Amino acid sequence: MSRIGKKPVFLPDGVKAAVKDRLVTVESGSNKLSITHRREVTVRVDDDAKAIIVDRGGDDRIAKAMHGLTRSLINNMVEGVTKGFSKQLEIVGVGWTAKLEGTTLQLKVGYADTRVVDVPASVKVEVAGARITVSGADKQAVGQLAANIRRHRPPEPYNGKGIKYSDEHVVRKQGKAFVSGSA
């Protein structure tokens, strides 16, 4: 039995969950997330225990894999509608900036053109100086948008310039060593 999959997902106060066919919906206030789970697992809501329980039908390899995955996805949905997720990025480079205009993020990061990143409606982006904060209820959407922003100029190891996560440590390399030789 999957160690992760057999744990129930407890619902905090104010969180509603519903399962219809294979569609699992979790909502709290204005936040609402839903996923369609695989056929190898079954999902049910236990109203007495205020929990969501994930069971698997068989012991084949794919059912075991989907058991823990489905439980983790549902747990992320519950955490997303209650607390939300956020990622912080930092822009390191002289004159490099980010500006939010409507639903697009414009990055000036050392290229001749301005890089434009479209911001989905489910994700909120804030820009404060050289710091970009991506937040939202959907963990996958937040992480994907942060990765798309970082992809435009990943940090390089020699000068440390680029777009990096705030908790990321860039391993610096030593540049070329100039030897003053006697000729």
Q: Which tens digits make up the pLDDT trace of 95-135?
A: 999 999 999 999 999 999 999 999 999 999 999 989 999 99
Q: What pLDDT is attached to residue 182?
A: 61
8 closest CA partner among 48, 57, 40, 39? 48
Structural domain boundaries in the chain: 9-82, 85-165
> Per the structure block, which two tokens stand in for 73?
């996805």
How much of the chain, in percent, has pLDDT values that exceed 90?
Answer: 81
1 closest CA partner among 72, 73, 69, 67? 67
85-165: same fold as 9-82?
yes
CATH code given to domain 9-82: 3.90.930.12
Q: Which tens digits make up the pLDDT trace of 1-52?
A: 568 888 999 999 999 999 999 999 999 988 999 999 999 999 999 989 999 9
DSSP string covering 76-95: HHHHHHHT-EEEEEEEESTT
pTM, whole model, 2 decimals? 0.88
pLDDT(181) > 80: no
Q: Which tens digits make up the pLDDT trace of 45-102?
A: 998 999 999 999 888 999 999 999 999 999 999 999 999 999 999 999 999 999 999 9
The topology under which CATH files domain 85-165 is: Outer Surface Protein A; domain 3 (3.90.930)
Q: What pLDDT is attached to residue 57?
A: 85
pLDDT bin (cut points 50, 70, 90) of residue 177 is confident
Mean pLDDT of all residues belonging to the chain: 92
